[in-house]
Amino acid sequence: MRVILKTRPRAKPKIPIEAEEIIPQNFLRKNDIRVYEGNKERALDDLFFVTYEGPAVSPDQVEIVLTGDTGVIKRVGEYMNAGRIIIEGDIGMHCGNFMSAGEILIRGNADAWLGREMRGGHILCEGNSGHYCAAGYRGEKRGMRGGIVEVRGNSGDFTAEYLSGGEVIIHGDCGDLPGVEMRGGTLVIGGDCSRPCGNMTGGTCMIFGEAHKFLPTFRKNGTDDIVYAGKHYLMNLFRGDVANRGKGTLMVRQ
């Protein structure tokens, strides 16, 4: 089943839409899906033109297509456990919160907290992502725990903060402190970043650009040849932040 949600024109288009109910498993029943426009509860078809194409008997057979003015829509895909969501433009904050399975494809840019505390599944953002991509929320000690988040553009500060499992791939640059407090998993940064992996205690981070303001609490531990995007890179290997037990591996292009 394919569900097409096209945003309706609104008198106040900058008011955010809270849309955690937009997940494939909810569309098998086709009714009583509620969203919030600011602090006001709305029916789904109050804010979207809704079109259904074909049947489905399980959530993994449901594909949702979001189109129109989607940049103000928050929490799409929260607790998603099957199926597919395609976002034809930008998407708001908290897309894919706690997602455990399925696929989210974002054709534009994603705002902050993309894939927050994700458990499984696959998120692909073809544009840029905001701050705290694949991170834990403030006060949490674990961030993303499984699955894959891939960003073809750049990402903001605190990418993969408290990363505990899964794989985060940023093809462009990252902002400040990517991989800070890493516990596990893999973080790949294709471009530049600043102060990576402070206080890491596990996992692997690979940086194929430049690591600015490199922290002095890492100890070099040899070199290795790594293939990324079809090219071979000689990488310097560092033992994880010795200010906190020195575990984990940080690799930076030589």
Q: Could you give the percent of the chain with pLDDT greater than 90?
A: 93
Does any domain span residue 135?
A: yes
Does any domain span residue 63?
A: no
Q: 185 is written with which tokens?
A: 């998993």
Element at 186 (helix H, strand E): strand 186-189
136 touches 117 (CB < 8 A): yes
Taking alpha carbons only, the member of 106, 251, 199, 241 closest to residue 133 is 106
Confidence band, pLDDT 50/70/90 cuts, at residue 180: very high
Does any domain span residue 58?
A: no
Q: What is the mean pLDDT of residues 56-84?
A: 97
Q: Count the domains in the chain.
A: 1
Does any domain span residue 55?
A: no
pLDDT, mean over the chain: 96
Is residue 30 over pLDDT 70? no
Does any domain span residue 176?
A: yes
Does any domain span residue 193?
A: yes
In which domain, by residue range, is 183 found?
109-253
- Secondary structure letter of residue 44 according to DSSP: H
Is residue 43 over pLDDT 90? yes
Q: Which of 93-97, 108-112, 191-195, 237-241 has the lowest mean pLDDT?
A: 237-241
Is residue 95 over pLDDT 70? yes
pLDDT score recorded for residue 14: 95
Which residues touch 70 (CB under 8 Å, ≥6 apart)? 7, 87, 88, 89, 90, 91, 92, 108
Does any domain span residue 75?
A: no
Taking alpha carbons only, the member of 89, 90, 177 closest to residue 133 is 177
Q: What is the mean pLDDT of residues 189-208?
A: 97
Does any domain span residue 177?
A: yes
